[in-house]
Amino acid sequence: MGGCISVANASYVRRTRNSLVNPISEDDLMPETPTKPRTPRFVRPARVLKESAGKDIFRRYKFGKELGRGEFGVTYECQNIATGEKVACKKISKSKLRAEIDVEDVRREVEIMRHLPVHPNIVSYKDVYEDKDAIYLLMELCEGGELFDRIVAKGHYTERAAAIVIRTILEVCHKHGVIHRDLKPENFLYANKSETAPLKAIDFGLSIFIEPGVRFKEIVGSPYYMAPEVLRRNYGEEIDVWSTGVILYILLCGVVAENLPDEQVTGLKQMFHEMDKDNNGSLTFEELKEGLCSIGDQPLDDPDVRMLMEAADLDENGVLNCDEFMMIAVHLKRISNDDHLRQAFHYFDKNKN
């Protein structure tokens, strides 16, 4: 049901169904006849979940900043008013549930989260609420950022470090009877910002229970990590192993070189060195601002430059190294829904390609 805690990737096709929701055909435009009854319109149930902790979530939790946004939900940082505990709350708007299959997906996501045991490498389920407007899924708050961002920051992992990550992913996959169906670096978060923080799987919105002997046909997931069997509409738990293999390749080879043509990588490195006036291997706010202004047709406002710099400054040291600067191009599509950042990124796209 969209991104759980991490920022959603607008370029990914989250779900492709076998048919459209309430499609309009020529037959629908013809007068009704007794021999061709209309398909009943979907009526969203007043209650989606059979069981919940109630509807008074706003009396028990204080909602804070937005953490991420997906196809069906928005995730917020929340605090338990009584205990002070901070959690992540995924709010799934009922107005987005436009077909019975959407309702089933929400029910299954909650069921899977309840089913999964307390595990150091799975985001913990806390509780679920439902009112007339939305379902509120409460989970452990992970503040260490995405695996994707650490890959970009490191450039690539050593084989030993990659083995630790992959072992974690493989353990999560099917030990608890669930096919994740959307394994990718963005769906793994670190519990905190330390180097030794546990890595946790998130976003079970597309997951499904393993059924012995049953093959699945629904096309779901993210194209870059999707197994061929998904497109053939005949798959089981092996598709998670394929996705894990893609993640391993990225861990060992690095994201930047894999996602950008060689000439763009070379061009970005050259651009970085031209902006780095004092040749100390990092860009200050002023150097980035001056460099962007020299590329564009008009000056870029300070707030836009600041937003761009903060988005790329993974280690939060106030300057950008070459890898962080190149990450700007890698993340272009991932945050292209932000008008301010899109405007800033246009300064990099000199030939509009």
List residues forming the annotated binding site for ATP: 90
- Phi, psi values for residue 48, rounded to 5°: -90, -40
Q: Which residue is catalytic, options 102, 105, 182, 240?
A: 182
Q: Within its chain, how far is the Cα of 121 from the centroid?
A: 17
Can you read off the two tokens belonging to residue 237?
A: 């738990």
CA distances from 78 to 60, 65, 88, 139 (A): 10, 8, 6, 10
Residues with Cβ within 8 Å of residue 83, at least 6 apart in sequence? none
Question: In which residue are the tokens 């890698």 written?
Answer: 330
Q: Which helix (H) or strand (E) holds 195?
A: none
CB 72, CB 137: distance < 8 Å: no
Determine the Cα angle at 96 with ends 93 and 102, to 5°: 105
**Hey, is 189 helix, strand or coil?**
strand
Q: Within its chain, how far is the Cα of 255 from the centroid?
A: 16
Q: Quick one: CA dihedral 162, 163, 164, 170, positive or negative?
A: positive
Closest among 57, 64, 131, 68 to 95, alpha carbons compared: 131
Long-range contacts of 214-221 (CB under 8 A, 24+ apart): 216/179, 217/18, 218/17, 218/18, 219/15, 219/16, 219/17, 220/14, 220/15, 220/16, 220/181, 220/182, 221/181, 221/182
Kind of pairing, strands 208-209 and 134-140?
Answer: unpaired
Buried b (16+ CB within 10 A) or exposed e, 281-315: ebbbbebbbbbbeeeeeeebeeebbebbbebbbbe
Closest among 168, 194, 195 to 183, alpha carbons compared: 168
Judge whether 133 counts as a catalytic residue: no
Annotated binding site: 90
Cα atoms found within 13 Å of the Cα of residue 157, Cβ hemisphere only: 20
**So which residues are the catalytic ones?**
182
